């Protein structure tokens, strides 16, 4: 009688756990080998600088590399975490709107040593 009550619930729990734990795109629980190598590279690289990446990977950057990140877990990536995440995703997806370059004082590029950790979208071919 106990088995009748517990076995179906156990099977349901196992199916639910499997669906949550299966490797999927943009899941920080399962990073790709390339993402792991990128984190290792950043950890070994002596040149300082922050990292721009998608939020799922950005949550791991400070712990794995000791570097700052623009977007990470929104519990500690405040203020404006969602806006910064949307901006980074637009950049990585190729949908970031372009604006004319600023001119005048304060304009121009400043070399900071910051990095971008990027993985092509699913289905996007490497060249």
Q: Is residue 63 in a domain?
A: yes
Q: Is residue 80 in a domain?
A: yes
Task: Encode pLDDT of 93-122 as tens digits.
Answer: 888 877 655 554 444 444 455 555 555 444
Q: Is residue 56 in a domain?
A: yes
H-assigned helices in 22-120:
33-44, 55-58, 61-65, 81-93
User: Could you give the number of structural domains in the chain?
Assistant: 1
Q: Is residue 52 in a domain?
A: yes
Q: Is residue 119 in a domain?
A: no
Q: Is residue 107 in a domain?
A: no
Cis ω for the linkage preceding 2 (within 30 of 0): no
In whole angstroms, give the CA distance from residue 115 to residue 112. Answer: 9
Q: Is residue 92 in a domain?
A: yes
* Nearest one of 71, 92, 89, 93 to 80, comparing CA atoms: 71
pLDDT at site 45: 93
pLDDT at site 70: 86
> Domain containing 85: what range?
34-96
């Amino acid at each position: 009688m106990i088995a009748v009550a517990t076995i179906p619930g156990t099977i349901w729990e196992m199916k639910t756990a499997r669906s949550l734990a299966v490797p999927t795109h943009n899941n920080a629980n399962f990073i790709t080998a390339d993402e792991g190598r990128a984190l290792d590279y950043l950890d070994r690289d002596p040149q300082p600088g922050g990292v721009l990446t998608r939020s799922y990977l950005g949550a791991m950057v400070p712990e794995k590399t000791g570097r700052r990140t623009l977007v990470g877990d929104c519990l500690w990536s405040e203020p404006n975490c969602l806006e910064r995440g949307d901006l980074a995703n637009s950049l990585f997806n190729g949908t970031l709107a372009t604006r004319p370059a600023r001119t005048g004082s304060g304009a121009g590029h400043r070399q900071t040593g910051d990095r971008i950790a990027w993985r092509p979208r699913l289905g996007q071919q490497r060249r």
